[in-house]
């Protein structure tokens, strides 16, 4: 039975694209519960327990969930695989829609409360070596409008990729923003660094809009948006292999 305070579209959102492991439970546009853990390589161990805790704090059963939204990339290969596989498993088990939310757009959306129409925001996740994942947007009266699609970039290519953004100022968000800021010093507008971490609440916010627009995924076929090929590393020798015989 759904509690009386849960009356609209109930959505479970998962954010695992970076070191942040975050779960949100929303009722329409209202946040009911959000739980987050910021610890590297903790997704596999803690994601399911965070989901269980979120449902418990909301006094709801899994059957109350109307849809599952997941941060779909780009980002950490391992984090994305864990988040997407968990979201797919829940969507299949509960027979509810799966909504994929672009990870960098979700991060940029969290900056909207401090932005004015016409201002730009560029979101950056760290990637391997001297690379970042990036996407850019402009704030409008309706929300964010994308000006540069998500891409995997070498740090030296970020300025050319961004071009000459218009507007009174440009907000830089994400774990890779501090690395990028010195490379954009020649831009003719102020740069504002905003400390934000990815959150499932932002995934839920965008997920609800995408669900209402009918933008749902084929649960069986959907895969994360990595934006670059996975490069496997040779695993380290096990303790058994190191024995002297």
For the record, the structure tokens of 21 come out as: 């492991």
Write down the domain spans for the chain: 10-103+198-212, 111-194
- Residue 229 has what pLDDT? 58
3-state secondary structure the chain: CCCCCCCCCEEEEEECCCCEEEEEEEECCEEEEEEEEECCCCHHHHHHHHHHHHHHHCCCCHHHCCEEEEECCCCCHHHHHHHHHHHHHHHHHHCCCEEEECHHHHHHHCCHHHCCCCCEEEEEEECCCCEEEEEEEEEECCEEEEEEEEEEEEHHHHHHHHCCCCCCCEEEECCCHHHHHHHHCCCCCCEEEECCCCCHHHHHHHHHHHHHCCCCCCCCCCCCCCCCCCCCCCCCCCCCCCCCC
Domain 10-103+198-212 has CATH 3.90.79.10: no
CA distance 95 to 89: 10
Predicted local distance difference test score (pLDDT) of residue 245: 35
**Distances, alpha carbon 124 to alpha carbons 29, 35, 56, 140, 218, in Å:** 26, 23, 33, 20, 28
Report pLDDT for 3: 43
**Per-residue model confidence (pLDDT) at position 40:** 87
**How would you write the pLDDT of the chain (245 residues) with one tens digit per residue?**
344 444 578 999 999 999 999 999 999 989 999 999 998 888 999 999 999 999 999 999 999 999 999 999 999 999 999 999 999 999 999 999 999 999 999 999 999 999 999 999 999 999 988 999 999 999 999 999 999 999 999 999 999 999 999 899 999 999 999 999 999 999 999 999 999 999 999 999 999 999 999 999 999 999 999 977 544 444 344 333 333 43
The predicted model scores a pTM of 0.89
Looking at domain 111-194, its CATH architecture is: 2-Layer Sandwich (3.30)
pLDDT of residue 23: 98
The per-residue pLDDT for 238 is 37
**Integer Rg of the chain from CA:** 19
């Amino acid at each position: 039975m759904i509690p009386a305070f849960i009356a609209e579209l109930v959505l479970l959102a998962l954010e695992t694209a970076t070191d942040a492991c975050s779960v949100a439970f929303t009722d329409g546009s209202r946040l009911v519960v959000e739980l987050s853990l910021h610890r590297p390589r903790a997704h596999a161990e803690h994601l399911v327990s965070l989901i269980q805790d979120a449902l418990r704090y909301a006094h709801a059963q899994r059957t109350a969930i109307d849809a599952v939204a997941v941060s779909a990339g780009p980002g950490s290969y391992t984090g994305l695989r864990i988040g997407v596989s968990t979201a797919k498993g829940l969507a299949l088990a509960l027979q509810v829609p799966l909504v994929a939310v672009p990870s960098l757009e979700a991060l940029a959306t969290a900056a909207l409360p401090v932005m004015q129409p016409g201002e730009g925001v560029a979101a950056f996740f760290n990637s391997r070596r001297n690379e970042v994942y990036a996407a850019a947007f402009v704030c409008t009266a309706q929300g964010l409008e994308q000006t540069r699609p998500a891409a995997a970039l070498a740090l030296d290519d970020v300025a050319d990729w961004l071009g000459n953004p218009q507007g009174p100022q440009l907000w830089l968000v994400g774990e890779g923003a501090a690395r990028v800021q010195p490379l954009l010093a020649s831009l003719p507008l102020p740069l504002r660094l905003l400390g934000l971490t990815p959150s499932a609440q932002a995934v839920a916010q965008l997920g609800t809009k995408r669900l209402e627009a009918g933008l749902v995924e084929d649960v069986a076929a959907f895969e994360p948006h990595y934006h670059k090929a996975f490069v496997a590393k040779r695993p380290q020798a096990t303790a058994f292999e190191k024995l002297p015989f």
